[in-house]
Structure 1
């Protein structure tokens, strides 16, 4: 009887994990598509480059998502957040296309897709527990954020490139960490998981694009 109960619990747990994973990838695909639409609108209306000021609305929208992630309103705020981030891509895309054509854009998209599917696929196949990365990732993002502010305000030569590399590595690790969290039951909210993966993709794409257009 105890063995039967254990098997039944494992089955239910597996179903829950599959549901979170399926919902996360479905919502991620929709938010990426929505961001592409808002990015196109941003380019069409010549949306201004905001620099670090973009972080203020971003933090507010991220807070709204966190507060509503367990209810229907969470979906609205997820699309508000990702739509806004799509708008902020417009100036970068316009600059890239104007300077180098569409080739860097296509290469950055391909590189981002390769990194995402490669890293998430590795975790899904091996089922490795990446929870040991939690402290490293959190500390790394704090250090990278402080370094980003220093690079922006102090104009330290070479620091901008180092910061970009830090964010690229940390965002890649975050994809593995979040995917692992889903399949091992550490993450049960697909809205939170979607936002984490989306922000990682956004960081990777913008960093690759900046490398390819020589902006760092």
Structure 2
């Protein structure tokens, strides 16, 4: 009986070490992925990057096409170095796309401080929620269904607002999205900690998208509520 207990304990310890390794690699790749994002954003702002600005719907659909193309490629190559290359290419593309809202923010007299506040707020929310998921080791997988439904609703509302251009709806979408992607941070980090995700490239992609969207919607709220024109 004793050897069996010993073996069970050894397996549990090995699984725990594997989960910690995935989490550590995820954080390392996540930190690295911020570099091409920043480079892409700076290049986009300096170049005045636009993506079919004359047609918001076509721009949105093209963005989704390119983004899902990258994500499909990352998923297909997640067990090789090419997965890392595609992920970093994707984060550069997302940095370029981020430059659009940064250009709008910098049009306000307090634009730089709003961007800094959104970045700081995103960091604080991420570290707090990631800490909760890591320390408590609680399984937040039960949130998955609710978060997915919320994501579909937010996407549909965003598409609708392309046509209606209602400021109050944009504000409501961002408010819900901040809560939604905060929930996704708990969900995704919890999956890594509890062994639901064992590939650090896929894990990094999921957490990166959580952070990216959280930042964008926080900045959108700040611009709507505290933006100051000259």
* TM-score w.r.t. length of structure 1: 0.94
Matches for 1:68-107 after TM superposition, within 5 Å: 68-99=77-108, 100-107=110-117
Partner residue in 2 for 1:153: 163
Which shows bigger deviation, 180-189 or 38-47? 38-47
SS in 1 for 2:107: helix
CA shift for structure 1 position 139: 1.4
In structure 2, C-alpha distance between the alignment counterparts of 1:138 and 1:7, rounded to whole Å: 36
SS in 2 for 1:158: helix
In structure 2, C-alpha distance between the alignment counterparts of 1:148 and 1:210, rounded to whole Å: 13
Residues 1:203 and 2:205 are matched in the alignment: no
Residues 1:36 and 2:38 are matched in the alignment: yes
CA shift for structure 1 position 49: 4.6
Q: Structure 2 unaligned segments of length 5 or more: list them.
A: none
CA shift for structure 1 position 150: 1.1
Could you list the structure 1 runs, at least 4 aligned residues long, displaced by more than 4 angstroms after superposition: none
CA shift for structure 1 position 118: 0.6
Provide the aligned length of Structure 1 versus Structure 2: 216
CA shift for structure 1 position 44: 1.6
Determine if contact 2:174/2:218 at 8 Å carries over to the other structure: no
1:169-199 residue CA offsets vs partner (Å, 9 max, x unmatched): 1111110001110111111011111111111
Q: Structure 1 unaligned segments of length 5 or more: list them.
A: none
CA shift for structure 1 position 62: 1.4
SS in 2 for 1:186: coil
Distance 1:83 1:157, change over 3 A: closer
SS in 1 for 2:106: helix
Determine if contact 1:24/1:193 at 8 Å carries over to the other structure: yes
In structure 1, C-alpha distance between the alignment counterparts of 2:50 and 2:167, rounded to whole Å: 26
- Considering only aligned residues, what root-mean-square deviation do their CA atoms show, in Å? 1.7
Partner residue in 1 for 2:128: 118
Aligned to 1:24, which of 26, 30, 39? Answer: 26
* TM-score w.r.t. length of structure 2: 0.88
